[in-house]
């Protein structure tokens, strides 16, 4: 089914530098039929967005700050999101913000059966991240842009340092997910592993660790076996993964 997405951007706390990469990312998950950005465009810090809007067919929604201390932009986005929900013109939303104020909105949209994607910076509070079906960090798009602009096709050393380090917690969630899906021989289809990882941790993305795909990420860890099999038609290779058995502990020799 073709997913029609409503893309709602919080212009107050999202940088404009990666809007092209952001729209390319969103296109992977569906057709962005509604694209709106909210903010007070009379303010200097939003001036950079103005040149991006026509190029990417994004409709600006001017929202003046009527009251000090209140975020009118957030309120306008939430009201529009509910109007769009009840119009039944889309079956998914992409909420672009690093603001936890949209946590309840994401939850409500999912309760209504909508697919909800989130995009924001790594500073985004966890409640908003886990309220989405999938959450993509803008920093990933930053790396993609730097790699695209590099003549060698590699990211700069500085940008490589920005990638997340693989922790014991990351390894554990991969290992437990493989165990959840494993057959009697311990093998699990990698496509299913990736899907379940996304459900368990919406911001889990191999690109956060500097790997374009899940397979090289798992291979780099060294704690999993990988096997490629032909499908039943023999047309393509399917990737299966398995937890390596833990080495047996040596018993201490008696003196």
**For a pLDDT cut of 90, what percent of the chain falls above it?**
58
Cα–Cα distance measured from residue 243 to residue 51, given in angstroms and rounded to the nearest whole number: 50
Q: Global pTM?
A: 0.84
The predicted model gives 133-161 an average pLDDT of: 66
Please check the confidence at residue 157 and state whether its pLDDT lies above 50. Answer: no
Contact 58, 52 (CB under 8 A): yes
Q: Which two tokens stand for residue 251?
A: 């018993």
**What are the tens digits of pLDDT across the range 191-218?**
999 999 999 999 999 999 999 999 999 9
Please check the confidence at residue 118 and state whether its pLDDT lies above 80. Answer: yes
Nearest to 95 by CA among 116, 115, 75: 116
Nearest to 227 by CA among 249, 211, 243: 243
The 3-state secondary structure of the chain reads: CCCEEEEEEECCCCCCCCHHHHHHHHCCCCEEEEEEEEECCCCHHHHHHHHHHHHCCCEEEECCCCCCCCCHHHHHHHHHHHHHHHHCCCCEEEEECCCHHHHHHHHHHHHCCCEEEEEECCCCCHHHHHHCCEEEEHHHHHHHHHHHHCCCCCCCHHHHCCCCCCCHHHHHHHHHHHHHHCCCCCEEEHHHHHHHHHHHCCCCCHHHHCCCCHHHHHHHHCCEEEEEEECCCCCCEEEEEEECCCCCCCCCCCC
Domains of the chain (ranges; CATH) run 4-159 (3.40.50.1010), 168-243 (3.30.420.610)
Distance (Å) of CA 54 to CA 49, 67, 240: 10, 30, 45
What pLDDT shows up at residue 40?
82
């Amino acid at each position: 089914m073709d997913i029609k997405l409503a893309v709602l951007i919080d212009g107050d706390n999202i940088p404009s530098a990666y809007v092209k990469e952001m729209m390319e990312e969103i296109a992977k998950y569906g057709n962005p039929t509604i694209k709106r950005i909210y903010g007070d465009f009379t303010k200097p810090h939003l001036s950079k967005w103005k040149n991006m809007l026509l190029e990417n067919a994004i409709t600006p929604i001017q929202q003046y700050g009527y009251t000090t201390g209140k975020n009118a932009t957030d309120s306008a986005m939430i009201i529009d999101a509910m109007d769009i929900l009840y119009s039944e013109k889309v079956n998914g939303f992409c909420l672009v913000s690093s603001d936890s104020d949209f946590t309840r909105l994401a939850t409500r949209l999912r309760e209504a059966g909508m697919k909800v994607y989130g995009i924001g910076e790594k500073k985004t509070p966890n409640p908003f991240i886990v309220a989405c079906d999938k959450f993509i960090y803008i920093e990933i798009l930053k790396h993609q842009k730097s790699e695209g602009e590099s003549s060698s096709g590699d990211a700069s050393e500085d940008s490589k340092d920005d990638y997340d380090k693989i922790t014991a917690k990351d390894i554990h969630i991969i290992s437990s997910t493989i165990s959840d899906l494993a057959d009697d021989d311990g093998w699990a289809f990698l496509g299913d592993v990736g899907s379940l990882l996304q459900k368990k941790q919406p911001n889990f993305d191999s690109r956060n660790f500097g790997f374009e795909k899940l397979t090289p990420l798992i291979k780099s860890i060294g704690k999993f076996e990988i096997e490629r099999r032909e499908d039943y038609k023999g047309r393509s290779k399917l990737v299966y993964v398995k937890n390596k058995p833990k080495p047996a502990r040596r018993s201490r020799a008696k003196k």
